[in-house]
Structure 1
Amino acid sequence: MTAVSAVDERWDDGLIARRAQEQAAAEAGPLTDEPHMPIGETYAGTLRTRLDALRELVGLSRTRLDGDTLAEAGRVLDEAAARQRLSSRHTVVAIAGPTGSGKSALINALAGVPVSETGLRRPTTANPIACTWSEGAAGLLDRLAIPGRLRRRPLAGGAGDEALQGLVLVDLPDHDSAVTAHRRQVDRVLALVDAVIWVVDPEKYADAALHERYLRPLAGHAEVTFVVLNQIDRLPGDAAHQVLDDLRRLLDEDGMALGEHGEPGATVLAVSALTGEGVGELRELLGAFVQGRGAAERRLSADVDAAAGRLRPVYVADGHPGLGERSREDFGARLAVAVGARAAGEAAEREWRRNAGRACGTPWLRLWRWYERLRTQGGGAGAEEGAEPEATAAEEDELTARQRVEQAVRVVAEEASRALPGPWAQAVREAAVRGARGLPEALDELAVSLAAPPAGARPPRPAWWPAAVLAQAAMTLLQFYGALWLVGQIIGVLEPGLFPPVLVMLAGIVGGPLVEWACAAAARGPARRYGQETERRLREAAAGCGRAMVLDPIAAELMRYREVRERYAHVARGHGEGAGGGAGGVAAGASVGAAAVGTGAGRAGAGRAGQVGPRRV
């Protein structure tokens, strides 16, 4: 049962509690380096599974969540380990309530002896006072830091002693005391006991401080909660029924389940410590509660529920987190654009076609192209002046490529973290940024190594290229043969005849361009396939580089989140979706209860009529 303290500070157990803990730790053996002691064999079944899952959850989340977020879960684990080392045969029940509600009178009536001082002076109880019905509870009282002078025993042989064996009853100071130290002690002890009896009177049963500060936040601990309306002897006639029913209504608004019709929940009943009315019934209920030996585990289970409810926003979010295949493909496509895969493919295609033109072109065209290259390279100062704009353009392209890579990383990180809770979304984005630090440089290396062939190498050529080269050589030979034939006729070596040599020479002159055109047409398909293969190779390499440097770290963070989400599901087992609904219910109860509490007994007539008595499981 987690106490809600107005002052956020850690409480020091004091010398007695520290000695008790040191002694228990010495008996248990050396402590491990774990932040929380492992849960022993005392807890079994679902509770042990949930505590183990909570411990694993805290360990897995320590590097992703801040200490304040995990503080409550750590406290639950520490309290579970501390309670495990102490007596499981005893049940520690605190009696709490506002000033003048009759807490001390009630514990005296249950014990049969004046355990706690009563009187008109307020506050009457300044320190927690304990009453134990059996031996062996010293460790539990040391944990509560209750000194020996404030420990009592009930009247020997009193009625109900046998049924109350194992009960440790602690009378607390007033939770609404004007003394701040008293309120701190109430909050401290409420965080350590197994159950609590809230004692209210007809005047303060609807007090806002009680409902808003304690009952509403502790609604999940209803199974280990008793709400006792004391001093019913002051209410005439049916007023006691009406006030009790109004109290039940307020508890309903607080979200505290009431034990009715076989359902688990808080026990509500009316007593008079002064006249003894209802005290015997309360003693019987306490006896059955204590002999059940399950209060400590139910209390811890409720604590785990409360911790799971507080942790829900950092582990559960709407939607389905992760990266779909479409997001991965889009990321690879963006990297391909950044690395210039398409441009590299087009350049490879043009290079293929240029090589085809060089191999299959006519000698005269190739000679002209060689002359043009020489003339262009000999441009001197003009060529050098053009070098600076080209370098500037290259730098701009590099800057643009880097920006595209950064944008691609941002987009994929946002898509991966979109459905995650805040801390895990931040972890995914940070993992993507860390992985992308060397990505532009790695992509540049890929572009250099894959886009351009090695120095001196040419793209592969189809099998028909030698035949095309041979045909072009034959056309050239025909031109030379026809020219020599004409020269021979001119100088008189050969018989005159203009038509045959001219025809042979024209066949070579016309056949050369025809062979070149046919080769260019035939090279389009292979050139396009070669360019596409180059583009595909560069795309796959860029996608692989992005996957290794960005997507894999993102996937690792998502895997870690899925692991902690699975651990959280084990922690919230039995709590289920109520981890979120319960928080909403508490908020809704707060808005309703704020208008409901504070009117006191004046609304006694608004309650439903019913028998004065307990309503429980």
Structure 2
Amino acid sequence: MDGVGGDGGVTGVEGAAPGRWDDGLIARRGAARAAARSEQSGQAAPPVVAPSDGSREADDEYDGLLSGGAYGGRLRGRLDALRELVGLSRTRLDAATLAEAGRVLDEAAARRRLSARHTVVAVAGATGSGKSTLFNALAGVQISDTGLRRPTTSSPIACSWTDGAAGLLDRLGIPGRLRRRPAPPGFRDEALNGLVLVDLPDHDSAATAHRDQVDRVLTLVDAVIWVVDPEKYADAVLHERYLRPLAGHAEVTFVVLNQVDRLPGDAADLVLDDLRRLLDDDGMALGEHGEPGATVLALSALTGEGVGELREMLGQFVQERGAAARRLSADVDGAAARLRPVYVADGRRPPELGERARADFTDRLAAAVGAAAVGEAAEREWRRNAGQSCGTPWLRLWRWYEAHRALGSGIDPISGRPPAEGQEEEITARQRVEQAVRTVADEAAAGLPAPWAQAVRESAVRGAAGLPEELDVLAVRAGVPRGRPPKPAWWPAAVLTQASMTLLQLFGGLWLVGQIVGVLEPRLLPPVLVMLAGIVGGPLVEWACSVAARGPARRYGQDAERRLREAAAACGRARVLDPVSAELMRYWEVREQYVAVTGLSTTGR
């Protein structure tokens, strides 16, 4: 049973042989779901685990074992879900974390290949508890040695009531010389047909090899009878090493208080009540009042008191043929409990990458790539183009001079900053990208169990590799458009009006010069008025154009900002958000498989 020490023939997750539980798991996902649908519709479903050794009879028996009794088809589905869960998690969790689940699947596959008509029950106990005496009393013949010499039982001894249990005994590692048969058929209790009883060495033996054998066999049997005596029933080793870890296996556990013939009066009832209290403290459910749980009773193997009652309970237990399924179900429960910390987090909100987190990530990338600055630069470029086309010639000459002076001094005419400041801004932009990636990864990983949170962060970091450089390329390609901005419909009229104002200035000036040199009749006022009209009208036209250009320039800048923002968002989505979302979807997929393993509903996750 799980929770017991010893290797127990456990197969690691990484090294399972072909044809075992981890063979082609991902590729068979569709077949597993089809099997579940077939089972719901009442049709035959495919086998639960790896193919058997070719025995069709063994396959049919095991299918009946999984689908019969009180468990219905749940165990089959839980084993399928556990197999898929391990396959989906192998690249995210280490082999040690999945080792117990792998052992359960291996044992399910091994048990399937063996007889389902037999129930293997181990008799375990401490030194001097009388377990070998009880073993002989149930068998009806002297099989296991008893006496004062300790340890009396040094190796497991098996007694099989019917033929066909050789494979089960081979699995337990019990040699042929230690396999026995009970009393002759005429004196044998036929109700125990199918029982394979195994007498184990003392679990508290001074010999380490004996304890290792106990731990190994307990992981392989279908049920166990714990034999305790009035002196050692509260032994800490028994409760802490065995009963407490095996509390989930209560339905396949018998706890027998032996040697009650040594207790006077009603002392046996008092000890039995205290034993029940200790089992309750261990978390082991007691099968009382018709509820499922461990069977607890008192007897004396030496005098035979209570042995008949135990034999009757064992007979009913064996004839139900549900011990193996109950044992496997309890093993799955134990494996699920151990895996809970890596699949279920204690966070209040479910892990997800919401719209707000996506929007914040996009905003940070837009800030890192300078989308707002690009929009402002595009707006300034549109207005500058308007000023060059609609401005007065004299102001345009002055602006041309200022631009060439700025280029000569090494100052960026657009940003107005020296090159050193531009390098500093590039470093800051890279830091902004890294911060944006860390923030969105932390947001997505919040509420996830540690291994899956780490996987989400690693996927974000992998996707962010080279992201700053790609954003730099985008800033060049999707930044301020090349060439001159498009012109509005009123632009030609504005240019013609400004040209008219310039011509008025030239005409008035020439008229005035002609009067000065005596070519024309001296009339000072008209040429001055014409020149003033051109001089005043030129700036007025330029001002009117600048006012009219504000709206188009703003829209032009917003379009440039939007294009760069969308390009940065698409880049960030492809490199970071999509891998993170895929990792979250993988987590929810394994989470659903884990819920199926536990046998709970997936609603309200």
Q: TM-score, normalised by structure 2?
A: 0.88
- Equivalent residues of 1:305, 1:575 under 8 A apart: no
Matched residue of 1:70: which SS? helix
1:561 maps to a residue whose letter is Y
Deviation at 1:523, TM superposition (A): 1.2
Q: Which residue of 1 aligns with 2:386?
A: 356
1:435 aligns with 2:447: no
User: Aligned partners of 2:470 and 2:338: how far apart in 1?
Assistant: 44
1:506 maps to a residue whose letter is L
Q: Which residue of 2 aligns with 1:507?
A: 533
Given the alignment, which residue of 570, 582, 602 partners 1:556?
A: 582
1:89 maps to a residue whose letter is R
Q: For the structure 1 residues 574 and 472, does the alpha-carbon distance in structure 2 shift closer, same or farther, using more than 3 Å as the test? A: closer
1:197 aligns with 2:197: no
1:219 aligns with 2:247: yes
Q: For the structure 1 residues 188 and 417, does the alpha-carbon distance in structure 2 shift closer, same or farther, using more than 3 Å as the test? A: same
Q: For the structure 1 residues 12 and 151, does the alpha-carbon distance in structure 2 shift closer, same or farther, using more than 3 Å as the test? A: farther
User: Aligned partners of 1:144 and 1:313: how far apart in 2?
Assistant: 32
- Equivalent residues of 1:160, 1:284 under 8 A apart: no
User: Aligned partners of 1:378 and 1:233: how far apart in 2?
Assistant: 112
1:528 aligns with 2:554: yes
- Equivalent residues of 1:112, 1:158 under 8 A apart: no
- Equivalent residues of 2:595, 2:601 under 8 A apart: no
Deviation at 1:234, TM superposition (A): 0.4
Given the alignment, which residue of 340, 343, 357 partners 1:327?
A: 357
Q: What does the per-residue CA deviation read over 1:467-492, in whole Å, with 9 as the maximum and x for residues that have no partner?
A: 11010011111112222333343445
Deviation at 1:442, TM superposition (A): 0.8
1:518 aligns with 2:520: no
Trace 1:369-518 onto structure 2 (pairs within 5 A). 369-377=399-407, 390-454=418-482, 457-518=483-544
Q: What does the per-residue CA deviation read over 1:175-225, in whole Å, with 9 as the maximum and x for residues that have no partner?
A: 000000000000000000000000001111111010000000000000000
Deviation at 1:535, TM superposition (A): 1.5
User: Aligned partners of 1:453 and 1:271: how far apart in 2?
Assistant: 95
Q: For the structure 1 residues 71 and 377, does the alpha-carbon distance in structure 2 shift closer, same or farther, using more than 3 Å as the test? A: closer
Trace 1:342-353 onto structure 2 (pairs within 5 A). 342-353=372-383
Q: Which residue of 2 aligns with 1:613?
A: none
Q: For the structure 1 residues 281 and 371, does the alpha-carbon distance in structure 2 shift closer, same or farther, using more than 3 Å as the test? A: closer
Q: For the structure 1 residues 2 and 576, does the alpha-carbon distance in structure 2 shift closer, same or farther, using more than 3 Å as the test? A: farther
User: Aligned partners of 1:515 and 1:158: how far apart in 2?
Assistant: 125
Q: For the structure 1 residues 67 and 237, does the alpha-carbon distance in structure 2 shift closer, same or farther, using more than 3 Å as the test? A: same
Q: TM-score, normalised by structure 1?
A: 0.86
CA RMSD of aligned residues (A): 2.4
User: Aligned partners of 1:71 and 1:466: how far apart in 2?
Assistant: 80
Deviation at 1:378, TM superposition (A): 5.4
1:131 aligns with 2:143: no
Q: Which residue of 1 aligns with 2:190?
A: 162
User: Aligned partners of 2:192 and 2:534: how far apart in 1?
Assistant: 122
Query: Which ranges of structure 2 fall in alignment gaps of 5 or more residues?
Result: 12-16, 26-48, 52-58, 68-72
Matched residue of 1:277: which SS? coil
Q: For the structure 1 residues 544 and 3, does the alpha-carbon distance in structure 2 shift closer, same or farther, using more than 3 Å as the test? A: closer
- Equivalent residues of 1:256, 1:266 under 8 A apart: yes
Q: For the structure 1 residues 376 and 83, does the alpha-carbon distance in structure 2 shift closer, same or farther, using more than 3 Å as the test? A: closer
Q: What does the per-residue CA deviation read over 1:305-356, in whole Å, with 9 as the maximum and x for residues that have no partner?
A: 0000000000000231111111111111111111111111111111111111
Q: Which moved more, 1:172-181 or 1:504-513?
A: 504-513
Trace 1:148-297 onto structure 2 (pairs within 5 A). 148-157=176-185, 161-297=189-325
- Equivalent residues of 2:346, 2:447 under 8 A apart: yes
Deviation at 1:48, TM superposition (A): 0.6
Matched residue of 2:418: which SS? helix
Deviation at 1:537, TM superposition (A): 1.7
User: Aligned partners of 2:304 and 2:8: how far apart in 1?
Assistant: 40
- Equivalent residues of 1:131, 1:170 under 8 A apart: yes
Q: Which residue of 2 aligns with 1:38?
A: 50
Q: Which residue of 2 aligns with 1:594?
A: none
Q: Which moved more, 1:33-42 or 1:538-547?
A: 33-42
User: Aligned partners of 1:292 and 1:282: how far apart in 2?
Assistant: 16
Q: For the structure 1 residues 575 and 205, does the alpha-carbon distance in structure 2 shift closer, same or farther, using more than 3 Å as the test? A: farther
- Equivalent residues of 1:95, 1:172 under 8 A apart: yes
Q: For the structure 1 residues 51 and 172, does the alpha-carbon distance in structure 2 shift closer, same or farther, using more than 3 Å as the test? A: same
Q: Which moved more, 1:322-331 or 1:157-166?
A: 157-166
Q: Which moved more, 1:114-123 or 1:501-510?
A: 501-510
Q: Which moved more, 1:389-398 or 1:171-180?
A: 389-398
Deviation at 1:32, TM superposition (A): 8.9
- Equivalent residues of 1:76, 1:304 under 8 A apart: yes
- Equivalent residues of 1:132, 1:154 under 8 A apart: yes
Matched residue of 2:546: which SS? helix
2:556 maps to a residue whose letter is Y
1:326 maps to a residue whose letter is R
Deviation at 1:375, TM superposition (A): 4.7
Q: Which residue of 2 aligns with 1:4?
A: 4
User: Aligned partners of 1:282 and 1:550: how far apart in 2?
Assistant: 64
Q: What does the per-residue CA deviation read over 1:235-255, in whole Å, with 9 as the maximum and x for residues that have no partner?
A: 111001111111111101100
Query: Which ranges of structure 1 fall in alignment gaps of 5 or more residues?
Result: 14-24, 578-617
Q: Which moved more, 1:343-352 or 1:143-152?
A: 343-352
User: Aligned partners of 2:89 and 2:21: how far apart in 1?
Assistant: 19
- Equivalent residues of 1:3, 1:190 under 8 A apart: no
Higher relative contact order (CA 8 A, sep 6+): 1
